[in-house]
Amino acid sequence: MVRYLLPISALLFGSALLLFAGGLNSLILPVRGSAEGFSAISLGLLGTGWACGYVAGCLITPRLVSRTGHIRAFGVMASFAAVSILGSLLLISPWAWIPLRAVTGFCFAGAAMIVESWLSERTEARSRGKIFGVYTMVNLLASTGGQMSITLGDIDGFFFFVVGGIIYCLALIPITISSSVSPNPLVSVSLNVPALWRNSPIAVFGVFMVGISNGSFGTLSAVYAERVALPLNSVALFASLPILVGALSQIPVGYLSDRMDRRKVLIGLAFMGMLADLIFILMRLDGTFQYLAAVSLYGASIFAMYPVILAHANDHAEDGTFIQTSGGLLMVFGLGCIVGPLIAGVGMSTIGVSGLFMTSLMAHVLMVLFALWRINVRAAVKGHSKGAFMHVPSIPTTTPEAATFTTPEPDESYGGSGNAS
């Protein structure tokens, strides 16, 4: 493993710095915004802005890189991300933060696409699965570390904004001094919803609902935790612990998913998510432990849904369309992340903090109903026609470029039956 990692250590380090700053950026804004008295709607729009920028970055970055090259484009992305978080310190207003957050989303998507294409180019096909696993783990730990770092200082000052800007700039160094040859042009992403729908309606509908629930929680979880009077260190845990639990839950979920109808696994996860939603909505939780236990159950369900949906879609995809399917679903997920925080923000402003989990409950109920209908319409894919379950990040820390890590070899079949499910 060491001989595989040494040639790409600079890229992994650069990605870790990028994700650390991104994790810090994603949490300091809602926490500081809530302390400044921003409304839940405006805080939800931070997530909507980020997701809009993220989707735009996935679509535009390939053309930008083809004109300027990988290193220059990465430099632009990291620099503007630093400008964005520092600008948020200078302009403490939700109407300034929303477009600045969109800039961050655009820059993050672009920088991540560049790193992922580079990693894919630098790794052999036989080792890509292991490298993708290491890359996922590095990103998860770095993002969590960035979120937890806000417990080390005062959120009312300038410290965390400046630290985030510095780390975004430091992420430039490993990439710009790397001796690696620039990779081939990036994957051009196209969002062909009709083709995705013909491939698997439940995948399109389900991933959009997952985008709504996960995008809402990712944006407003810290606001919820703060408004139920959790201490700052618990606020950070409330936001980051579900992601870690979700990553661990993919192990048993993947085992089940490869051995039974993936749609039934998805329904089971959605019921688990509904249970967690109802706990937050109906029960009077008392103390940090109860909140963290409930949110761990929540994370174990919602952050394991996306890889099940992706695997199900690939079971039905035609040979050679793995990247298009993966990239398209990621775009649909991004669209859900645009809608979700806005709905949840409105809900939290009108009915209180429970509006966050009511939004999530709505998404999970709709997912269950749609999946049950599709099970009655189409039979499950036979076990021998299934592709392997792939553990993927629980949050949008990757881009369509990551699909190149897991593109099946020519002699492997991911085509399945080809029937829509």
Which tokens hold the place of 106?
Answer: 């655009």
Q: Is 382 exposed, middle or buried, given 0-12, 13-18 or 19+ CB atoms closer than 10 A?
A: exposed
pLDDT, tens digit, 9 for 90 and up, residues 51-76: 999 989 888 888 888 888 888 888 89
- Give the residue among 170, 145, 133 at the shortest CA–CA distance from 26: 145
Question: What are the structural domains of the chain?
Answer: 8-405 (1.20.1250.20)
- Give the residue among 117, 91, 127, 261 at the shortest CA–CA distance from 184: 117
pLDDT, tens digit, 9 for 90 and up, residues 251-306: 888 888 888 888 899 999 999 999 999 999 999 898 899 999 999 999 999 998 98
Q: How many Cα atoms are found within 13 Å in the side-chain-facing hemisphere of 124?
A: 6
Model confidence, pTM? 0.86
Which tokens hold the place of 369?
Answer: 């109903």
Q: Say what percent of the chain tops pLDDT 70.
A: 81
Q: Given a cut of 50, is residue 417 above it in pLDDT?
A: no
| Widest pairwise Cα distance in the chain | 58
**CB-based contact 30:166 (threshold 8 Å):** no
Q: Given a cut of 80, is residue 319 above it in pLDDT?
A: no
Residue 80 — pLDDT band, cuts 50, 70, 90? very high
Which tokens hold the place of 139?
Answer: 């990103």
Round the average pLDDT of the chain to a whole number and report it: 84
Q: What is the pLDDT of residue 416?
A: 39
Q: Given a cut of 60, is residue 311 above it in pLDDT?
A: yes
- What are the respective helix, strand and coil percentages of the chain, to the nearest 5? 80, 0, 20
Q: Given a cut of 60, is residue 6 above it in pLDDT?
A: yes
Mean pLDDT of 139-168: 91
